[in-house]
Amino acid sequence: MPKETFQNLPEEKKEHIESILLDKFYNQHISQVKVSEIVDAMQMSRGAFYKYFQDLEDAYTYLIQRYTIQIHGDILTSIKQYKQDFFLGIENFLVQCNKLDRDSYYWHILRLLTQNNQALTAKRKPLAPDSPMLTQWLGLLEQNHFLIESHDEAISFLYFIMSLVMNTLTNCIVNNWSNEELVKDFRFRKKWITQGIKKE
Residue 200 lies in a domain: no
Residue 164 lies in a domain: yes
Residue 79 lies in a domain: yes
Angle at 30 between CA 123 and CA 51, to 5 degrees: 80
Residue 177 lies in a domain: yes
Question: Domain range holding 13?
Answer: 4-195
Residue 137 lies in a domain: yes
- Per-residue HEC secondary structure of 13-76 comes to HHHHHHHHHHHHHCCCCHHHCCHHHHHHHHCCCHHHHHHHCCCHHHHHHHHHHHHHHHHHHHHH
Percent of the chain with pLDDT over 90: 72
Note the pTM of the prediction, 2 decimals.
0.88
**Considering its fold, how many domains does the chain have in total?**
1
Q: What is the CATH number of the domain that holds 155?
A: 1.10.357.10
pLDDT of amino acid 126: 73
200 against 49, higher pLDDT: 49
Please, which pLDDT band fits residue 51 given cuts at 50, 70 and 90? very high
Residue 26 lies in a domain: yes
| Mean pLDDT across the chain | 91
Query: Does the pLDDT at position 80 exceed 70?
Result: yes
